[in-house]
Amino acid sequence: MNQALGKVVTAVMIDENDQDYFVQPDRNGQTYRLPKDEAPQVLHIGGSVSGFVYENDQHQLQMTCQHIPTVAVDHYDFGTVVAVRRDLGVFVDIGLPNKDVVVSLDELPTLKHLWPQPGDRLLIALRVDDHDRLWGTLADEAIFATIANRPEKKMVNWNVKATVYRLKMAGTLVLTDNYCLGFIHPSERDQEPRLGQVVNARVIGLSGHGSLNLSLKPRAYQAIDDDAKQILELLKRAPQKQLPLTDKSSPEEIKELLGISKGQFKRAVGHLLKARLVSQVNGRLILIKEAPVNE
């Protein structure tokens, strides 16, 4: 196995042509091409240079000094998914000029609709197989636990962005942009997110395991329909923030004041009552809490 692949190594220049230097990390070892426009300085035979070595998409051994990726053998960082091949896996851009690394389908979810899609991000390191092929390998839960920050109570009700890193029967595991671990129970999502998908979530609590409990569902006030929003706006402007209507009002009264049917009105008021934004007292609809703005 080529022990240098996927790492930064120091090599000695042994030859050149018009476009490339040829360098060797070890005497009588593998030879790598180093494009002259990527070399840090003019090299002469016997001169040394350090760079990242890999096999490019033309199956040539190559060194780069200007595009050294942060992903390497035994070194994890995020890469961006750029392509999917159902019989192989997903291709991830780690910053090399002419090589995307593959995360094998063996490491991906059984259900292909949960595979990462272009634009998703994966925390990976590199590994070299017995045939000297370079692969991306997903970080396990121990790696995520190592890099995670401990959440604070003040984060409850925050909106956060998070990257999905593990799919489980019990729920979805994510890492937030501020490097806190998070958990999304199936009851707190309308559909299961993909591996590598970046989701917008809301912090609904802290677990006893040092992670955030998250929800992908909107806040109650965000889930209300247009009729309910209209009623809220009228209440905000009304004297004493009250309207002379309840679900007992006649269809004619509702139609005259709001321009909607009694059925629409009852559904809208039901949403507002459930969200604890209004109450009904003595034949009047009363605003008790305004929906937050720009949360």
The encoded tokens of residue 164 equal 């999905």
**What CATH number is attached to the domain comprising 54?**
2.40.50.330
pLDDT tens, residue by residue, 102-129: 999 999 999 999 999 999 999 999 999 9
Same domain, 181 and 226: no
211 and 234 part of one domain: no
pLDDT in tens, 19-57: 999 999 976 679 999 999 999 999 999 999 999 999 999
pLDDT tens for 50-94 read 999 999 999 999 999 999 999 999 999 999 999 999 999 999 999
Decide which of 64, 88, 109 is a domain's last residue: 64
Domain count, the chain: 4
Does position 273 have pLDDT exceeding 90, yes or no?
no
Residues 211 and 227 occupy one common structural domain: no
- The answer as to whether 262 is a domain residue is yes
Is the pLDDT at 135 greater than 70, yes or no?
yes
Is 69 a domain residue?
no
163 in a structural domain: yes
Is residue 47 domain-shared with residue 92, that is, in the same domain?
A: no
The range of the structural domain enclosing residue 244 comes to 221-287
198 and 253 share one domain: no
In a domain, 267, yes or no: yes
107 lies in some domain:
yes
Nearest to residue 210, comparing CAs of 146, 121, 137?
146
- Judged against a pLDDT cut of 60, whether residue 186 lies above it is answered with yes
- Contacts for 240 with CB less than 8 Å, ≥ 6 apart: none
Last residue of a domain, which of 106, 139, 172? 139
- When pLDDT is averaged across residues 216-244 and rounded to a whole number, the result is 80
Q: Say whether both 152 and 206 belong to one domain.
A: yes
Residue 56 and residue 99 in one domain? no
* Secondary structure of 158-201 as H, E, C letters: CEEEEEEEEEECCEEEEEECCCEEEEECHHHCCCCCCCCCEEEE
Percent of all residues in the chain with a pLDDT value above 90, rounded to a whole number: 70
Q: Is residue 129 part of a domain?
A: yes
At CB < 8 A and 24+ separation, what contacts does 268-272 make? 268/224, 268/225, 268/227, 268/228, 268/230, 268/231, 269/228, 269/231, 271/220, 271/223, 271/224, 271/225, 271/228, 272/224, 272/228, 272/231, 272/232
59 in the same domain as 12: yes
- Report the CATH number at residue 185: 2.40.50.140
**Is residue 2 in a domain?**
no
Going by C-beta distance under 8 Å and a sequence separation of 6 or more, which residues neighbour residue 170?
Answer: 185
Mean pLDDT, the chain, whole residue set: 91
Task: Establish if 294 belongs to a structural domain.
Answer: no
Domain end, chosen from 215, 231, 263, is at 215
Instruction: Give the CATH number, domain containing residue 278.
Output: 1.10.10.10
Q: Do 209 and 227 sit in the same domain of this protein? A: no
